[in-house]
Structures are given as structure tokens and as C-alpha cells.
Amino acid sequence: MKITIIGAGSVRFSLQIIGDIAQTEELSGCEICMMDVNEVRLEATYILAKKYCEELGSDLKIEKTMDLEEAVKGSNYIINTAYPYPKGVVDGYKRWEIVTEIGEKHGYYRGIDSQEFNMVSTYSYVICSYPDIKLALDIAEKMEKTAPNAWLMQTANPVFEITQAVKELSDVKIVGFCHGSSGVNEIFERLKLSKDKVDWQVAGVNHGIWLNKFSYEGKDGYELLDKWIKEESHKWESKGPWDVQLSPAAIDMYKFYGMIPIGDTVRNGSWKYHYNLETKKRWYGKYGGIDNEIERPKFHDTLRKNRERMIELAKKVKEDKNVKLTEEWPEIFKKGEMSGEQHVPFINALSNNKQVRLILNVENQGIIKGIPEDVVVEIPVVVDKNGLQSQRLDPDLDDRIKEYFLIPRIMRMKMALEAFIKKDIEILKEFLVRDPRTKSFKQVEEVLSEIMNHPINSELKEYFNL
């Protein structure tokens, strides 16, 4: 078996996935191909991956390449976690920071990609996610030629738009992955519930999922949540910028929509929670969540420092064979513990019939009533050797969620894809006209003009024939 990781030079993700594979007995001896366009980071993660497998006593065969076609060829599973950025740019975060700065200059707080129902920062790139969709389609094209039976496991954002685009524009098998559904665990822990006694489902679209089913020992779990909200929620304090699952924003969304939002959905409520930093702190606690002018830059700086730490650790491993990664950086290099990501259980279920229920991004096919069958939704899916079987939702999502949240979000996805496919900047303009921060059409034209004419966006400008 060959498992390929595109964007393998990441600080954390690829090494965690390799650790999961190494600690899964049924996947012993398989080949891991690590691919990245950044030679320095790729070399560092390659050294660390080999050392990690050695510490775990694993016989995985680790290879590396900077050639996409070589990486894809003959693969059974291809995990796309890459965050593409133009040549000459330090990293994808720098690209986003430049575009955000231009957006704020023109009156778009947190940038034009921080759209209502799509507030997750660094989620998109000038609305249509051009480089991200282009890369995924390049991968799909090579899969059709050299790995026609492989699964493309889309992990890099925007999962919704990319998975939908690949399904519509290619014949490859694709499924979208996100760990946002793990937010349910915080609810269970806060309510002091044993996870193995909870019966739950979540459903919606990526970064827009809701707890539709919630029972504990056969009783209505929402009654327990209501009790906590009434008696305990006033004591809630954010433990960090990512800690928003039971924030005032989440509770407010629950009261409005009838079901509680899960994971990143809490960050995607509406501009009601995001007008400025003061507003964010009111709804998300003292940090104001992660999507603000203080915490997001700090997070990017931490990632950059961790990249340097990763490179230095790789050098240390080359010089001293006695270095123990599980001691040097235990947050990443775990022993006897899985990362919690869904990728390896998915692979093991399909390849070795280790049946598992996962929360995946797949075609709706009638599971969420009232949503088009061909739209990619995030729902519970049972995976085994027979493939993927979506679970029936019981109960269905509340109508208000579908009509006021999902349908507008699906419309935005469709606009982004049409702009990409037709290379039509007028759709991007229409997108911004509907933005609550827009005061005039002149503002729309000026912000797009400055963004498109920045040297960092030369490829994007050419793509749109500007």
C-alpha cells in the first residue's frame, strides 16, 4: 500500500499522521510518500518521520519527493494538506496577511475573505480559493492517469469548496476531512458525561455543523445542556483563543437556531459576533477567539517558530542518534496514543475492514432533507471494506439551520466555484456587494483592484485576464 501526503513539510500534521500509521498494526510495512515544494521543510520532516518510526519500532517505508506526479503515481490514498503560496513568498500566512491588510485598508475588518458564515481566518484566498482548488485539480488530473483507484483525502481548507470542485470537475474518488466535530467532546466533558454513554450525531457543511442528535443513557442530552446553561454558563471562561465551543456566541447561536453549533461553526455565526475586537471579546471571552488582530498574528508567529524548531530538531537528530523525539516534542511525537485525526481509521476501515463511524464530507444524496443531493455535506459515515455508507439523520436538522445558515453558505460556495470555473471577476464583485461591510460599489472595485495588482497576486491577476 502507498499512502501519499501532499504538503508533508507541515509542522505537525504529517508527522502525526505518520505516527498514527506507524501505530496501526494492520498498516505495517506500507509505503509513505512525503511530498512538498519546500525542500528545507520536506527534508526536516522526512528525517523526523524516519526517526519517529524507528522509535515506535515501525517498519514503514518512508520516501520523499518534490515532484507531484511521482508522489501521486501508484498511490492508494492521497492526503492533500498543502497550503499553496506563490514563489518568493515566505509562507501562505504571509500571503494571507498581505491580502488582509489591503482589505482592512478599504474598510473590510479582518479582510475580504472573512465572510459572514465563513469567518474562519486563512480559510479562503480572494473569495474563490484559486490556488487551493487549482492544486487539488492538478492532483486529481494526475490521479486519473497514474492512480485511478486511489482516494483523494482533502484536508487543506477550504474543504467544502475544494471537495465540491473536484467532485464536479473530475472523476476521482474524493472525501473531505476535518476535525471540527471533536468539539462535541468538550460539551460532554463540561457536562461531566461519559463519552461511551452518549449517542450523538452532527451534520451540516464543513465549518457549519450542528449537534442534531444528543442523548445520554437514553435521555435527552439537550435537557442536560439547558440545565448547564441556566446554572453554570455564567461561570464559563475561555482557556485560550481556540476555546469557544461553549462560549456566549455558541449559546446564542443555539438559542436562535435550535441546535448547538459544533467546532469551527461557532466562529462562523454572523457579523453579530465579529464587528470589532470588543464585540469578539463579548461573545468569545477574554481572548476574543482566534480570528482577530491580536491572536491570529500570534498564532502565525508560533507556527513559524515551530517550523524553525522542527528544522533545528532534524539537524539535532542527524548529529545525535540518541535523541528521543517522544521526549523532545511529546505534543507531536506521541507513543501509545493516536492523534485523534480521522485519516488513518478511514484508511484502515477501507483496506482492512476495521469498521468505524467518522464525520466526513461527502455528497448529500438525500441525507439532509431540502439540500441538493449533489452538494457536499459533513455527516456521519460508516466506513468498512464495502465503502462509505452515510447514516440517516435522526432527527433531521432544524429548518432554521437549513434555511438561514446552510442554504446561504451553499450559495457562497457556488459563487466561488463559478467565479473560479468561468474566471469571472464580476462574481467576486457581486460577492462583496452582499458583504455587510460594503458601503459602496467603488469600495468593492478599489479593494479588488489593489489586491489583484499586488505582485503577490500576479498569477491570480493573469488567471482572471485582468
Catalytic residues: 179, 264
C-alpha span between 62 and 151 (Å, rounded) = 20
* Length of the chain, in residues: 466
What is the SS3 string spanning the chain? CEEEEECCCCCCHHHHHHHHHHCCHHHCCCEEEEECCCHHHHHHHHHHHHHHHHHHCCCCEEEEECCHHHHHCCCCEEEECCCCCCCCCCCHHHHHHHHHHHHHHCCCCCCCCCECCECCCCCCCCCCCHHHHHHHHHHHHHHHHHCCCCEEEECCCCHHHHHHHHHHHCCCEEEECCCHHHHHHHHHHHCCCCHHHEEEEEEEECCEEEEEEEEECCEEHHHHHHHHHHHCHHHCCCCCCCCCCCCHHHHHHHHHHCCCEEHHHHHHCCHHHCCCHHHHHHHHCCCCCCCCCCHHHHHHHHHHHHHHHHHHHHHHHHHCCCCCHHHHCCCCCCCCCCCCCCHHHHHHHHHHCCCEEEEEEEECCCCCCCCCCCCEEEEEEEEECCEEEECCCCCCCCHHHHHHHHHHHHHHHHHHHHHHHHCCHHHHHHHHHCCCCCCCHHHHHHHHHHHHCCHHHHHHHHHCCC
